[in-house]
Structure 1
Amino acid sequence: MDKYMIKNGKRLQYGYTTGSCAAAASKAAANMLMTGEPLEEITIATPKGWDLKLRVIDPKIEGPWASCSIKKDAGDDPDVTHGLLIYSKVKWRQDNKINIQGGRGVGRVTKKGLPAAVGKAAINPIPLQMIEKEVREMIGYEKGLDIEIFVPKGEEIAKKTFNPRLGIEGGISILGTSGIVEPMSEEAWKDSLGLEIAMLKEEGIDKLIFVPGNYGRDLVKNTYQFQDKYIIKTSNFIGFMLDKAVEHGIKQILLVGHLGKLAKVAGGIFHTHSRVADGRREILAAYLALLGASPHEVKTVLTSNTTEEAVSYIRQIKKEKIFPILAQKITEKTRERTEEKVQIGSVIFTMEEGILAICPEGKKLLEGCKEWKK
């Protein structure tokens, strides 16, 4: 694509989705089936309103069917499906219906809560609509087609995606609501994280462990021997994930995170990326002042390079009482965010010190949620 955006001072290229690839390949194959001639490029419209002119790869026409592929281009988005060939194979039907199926390398849905029904190919609703629209534009409404979308390397690549965890087996998903990949799209990332909550709720799970990243996940697995399936990574989107928890009726959440992240939550900051807000030292310093720390001690924390350094100094001046206070404040802020619809407890730690504090609600959850254990 020749479209770009500027993000954080960088020029980043847009890409197009697996759904756009499937629609383009299907339209091109339908064209070849009608004309009997191979095709070099095809143009489709996307829900975003942008037209895509894409190169047709590996065109084949053999008797009653035709097939070809489109190469997925994720632009500057870190997408493991970048470069995959998305194929479509089309064959005439005896009626005027469009029947779309997933073949090799397209995942099968095995759990409820996803846009596609259990047992169906993991082709989302918008790509299905795009495929039918583009094919109808080519063949009209008097004829019908059987369409098979397949991805030769899909099963291998799917292992690097969320699909195995979401209950999509055997391949990738055919995705995309706009047809266009926005480079490093935060919304797409959040949607994939939120989908995990929906999937677990469908399994009847309503007690979860939220961790911002891998350190928290490893800590709860190694310290408490909790099962992986209950542990949800929130990344920096703690507020968003709390909102999703309320939306899906989650009853209990244990929030476990590094003090450098969760100190921000104690200050009411629910998007914890440092580019959005970074008040870690200021929040630590404010609570130290409430505990009677001297101006020199407060300034030392304010000018510390890292949270780990600040924690080391807090221990040195024997103000460890701050840690349970912060853990309780994190719990209070998260309960406010969820309008007290979710029972929440907090655990804070650092890499050097390990667990610093567990709030009273956190201790109750740790004692009561036996199902989390292996």
Structure 2
Amino acid sequence: MENDNGKKNLRRGFTTGSCAAVTAKAALIMLLTGENIYNASIVTPKGLVYNAEILDVKRNGDYVSCAVIKDGGDDPDITSGTLIYASVRLLDNDEIRIKGGKGVGTVTKPGLDQPIGEAAINSVPREMIKENVRTVLSEYGITDKGVEINIIVPEGEKLAEKTFNPKLGIVGGISILGTTGIVEPMSDAAILETIKVEIRVKKAEGKKVLLVAPGNYGLTFLKEKYGTNEDEAVLCSNFVYDTVKIAADEGFTKMLFVGHIGKLVKVAGGIKNTHSMYGDHRIEILSEIASEFVSLQKQRTITDKLMKCVMTDEAVNILKSVGIGDKVFRRMAEKIKAVMEQFSEDKITTEVIVFSNEYTELVSTENAKAYLDKETGL
């Protein structure tokens, strides 16, 4: 099926938070009625109904547990196909107590949605669980009892190794997430939410400088060149402008931006999102900067050579061969710095390190190395 733009419509899925809520609801109904059910539904915060098949019902004394299969739709979600369990029992008070069992991570660092020591079940999923449990209690006329809900993901610890959780300080399993209850396929919002969480963790850890890299190339460069731990950096992907705005909102005043020239040169031209779908002007931007350092007679020749380049590393070699490489790269770094500081409305002082292929450093701004210092910077 295609939409009006000729693109395939991708199927939505449901978050781990929705799975936990519908499973808790089903388990509680079975606990109160003594009868098994095989379907249950909830209304997600987005307003869409989640109809779930209930699996693996078990009764053990005061407890009833059951599971649903996580369906992430067409999103490449590593938790899709995973069993999410809820085990419930009644309490003698009116408390709704939510716990994380096997495969649900535990928070060990500040700055996350839950405090240190708590299960990594975020606020919205907790509210979804509580709301649905309270509704069931009301429907069955239970006014003097509470409920303990234990969320379990048997494969969670193994799956967590493929997520950001170890980097964020969430140990022992996955997080139970979701703000709308719905998984939007290939969602930019999901990426930005991950960036926001990472930045908040860095702030809570007391970092003075926010270290940002577009991708893994930057992490490898930092590790090989400066011995910097890969966990120090926040990956911003193509979302340069958004990352700067988030960092400013979280109170950072210093940032070190490190990456390959192929990405960072776009920022020198004022580009907010470096994905090629928003335009690829790498060579044009380099050519414009190069024109500042050659005579009018040579501009055409150098521009023609640069415009034939497919990759920025080819352009780097040309600029070096005509003796203006250092000047061009220095000017490019100054432009990147100025653009990013403008993005932050001058709330963040930005320093820049740019490298090319084989992780060769091309240029760094004046205070970039100081920002890497363990005592005064990171």
TM-score, normalised by the number of residues in structure 2: 0.92
- The SS at the match of 1:48 is coil
Other-structure match for 1:36: 34
2:352: which partner in 1?
Answer: 346
Q: Tell me the residue number matched to 1:13.
A: 11
Residues matched between the structures, number? 370
Q: Which position in structure 2 is the counterpart of 1:65?
A: 63
Provide runs of 4+ in structure 1 moved above 6 Å. Answer: 3-8
In 2, the alpha carbon distance for the partners of 1:85 and 1:284 equals 51
Question: Counterparts of 1:133-212 in structure 2 under 5 Å?
Answer: 133-140=131-138, 142=143, 143-212=145-214
Q: 1:4 to 1:18 in 2, by over 3 A?
A: farther
More displaced stretch, 33-42 vs 181-190: 33-42
- Counterpart in the other structure of 2:299: 294
Q: For 2:4 and 2:99, how far apart are their aligned partners in 1? A: 38
Give the deviation of 1:230 after TM superposition: 2.3
Alignment partner of 1:13: what SS? Answer: coil
Q: What is the CA distance between 1:6 and its match in structure 2?
A: 8.1
TM-score, structure 1 normalization: 0.93
| More off after superposition, 349-358 vs 278-287 | 349-358
Query: C-alpha offsets along residues 147-184 of structure 1, whole Å, 9 cap, x if unaligned?
Result: 11111111111111111111111111111000000001
**Cα distance change, pair 224–353 in 1 and its aligned pair in 2 (3 A):** closer
1:9 is paired with a residue whose SS is coil
Amino acid of the structure 2 residue aligned with 1:282: E
Counterpart residue number, 1:317: 322
State the match for 2:118 in structure 1.
120
2:309 alignment partner in structure 1: 304
Q: Partners of 1:272 and 1:313 in 2: how far apart?
A: 23
> What's the offset of the Cα at 1:4?
9.3
Structure 1, unaligned stretches of length 5 or more? none
- The 8 Å contact of residues 264 and 280 in structure 1, kept in 2 or not, is answered as yes
**Could you give the per-residue CA deviations for residues 91-122 of structure 1, whole angstroms, max 9, x where no partner exists?**
11222332111111111111211111211111
Identity value in percent:
41
- Indicate if the aligned counterparts of 2:200 and 2:250 stay in contact, CA closer than 8 A: yes
Aligned pair in 2 of structure 1 residues 20, 245: CA closer, same or farther (>3 Å)? same
What amino acid does structure 2 have at the position aligned with 1:338? S
Quote the Cα distance in structure 1 between the aligned partners of 2:158 and 2:56. Answer: 21
Mark the CA change 1:42 to 1:6 in structure 2 (over 3 Å): closer, same or farther.
farther
Shift of 1:71: 0.8
Which secondary structure state, in structure 2, belongs to the residue aligned with residue 239 of structure 1?
helix
Partner Cα distance (1:57, 1:344) in 2: 52
Instruction: Give 2:311's aligned amino acid.
Output: T
Q: Give 1:249 shift.
A: 2.2
1:345-364 aligned within 5 A: 345-352=351-358, 354-364=360-370
Counterpart Cα distance in 1 of 2:3 and 2:181: 16
Counterparts in 2 of 1:71-82, with a 5 A limit?
71-82=69-80
| Equivalent in the alignment of 1:217 | 219
CA contact (8 A) 2:221 2:359 kept: no
Instruction: Kindly indicate whether the alpha-carbon contact (under 8 Å) linking 2:97 and 2:147 is maintained by their aligned counterparts in 1.
Output: yes
Q: More deviation in 137-146 or 171-180?
A: 137-146
Aligned-pair distance for 1:313?
A: 2.1
Pairwise CA RMSD: 2.1
Quick check: 136-145 or 232-241, which moved more?
136-145
Q: CA deviation at 1:282?
A: 1.2
1:206 deviation in Å? 1.7
Residue 273 of structure 1: which of 258, 275, 299 is its match? 275
Q: What per-residue deviation string (whole Å, max 9, x for no partner) do you get for residues 57-98 of structure 1?
A: 101233322110011111111211111111001111222332
**Alpha-carbon shift at residue 8 of structure 1 (Å):** 7.6
Secondary structure of 2:350's match? strand
Report what 1:365 is aligned to: 371
Q: Which secondary structure does the structure 1 equivalent of 2:317 belong to? A: helix
- Assess, with a 3 A threshold, how the Cα gap between structure 1 residues 371 and 158 changes in structure 2: closer, same or farther: farther
Structure 1, 339-348 or 70-79: larger mean CA deviation: 339-348
Q: 1:204 to 1:8 in 2, by over 3 A?
A: farther
Letter of the 2:186 counterpart: M
Deviation at 1:256, TM superposition (A): 1.1
Q: Report the CA distance shift for 1:149/1:353 in structure 2 as closer, same or farther (over 3 A).
A: closer
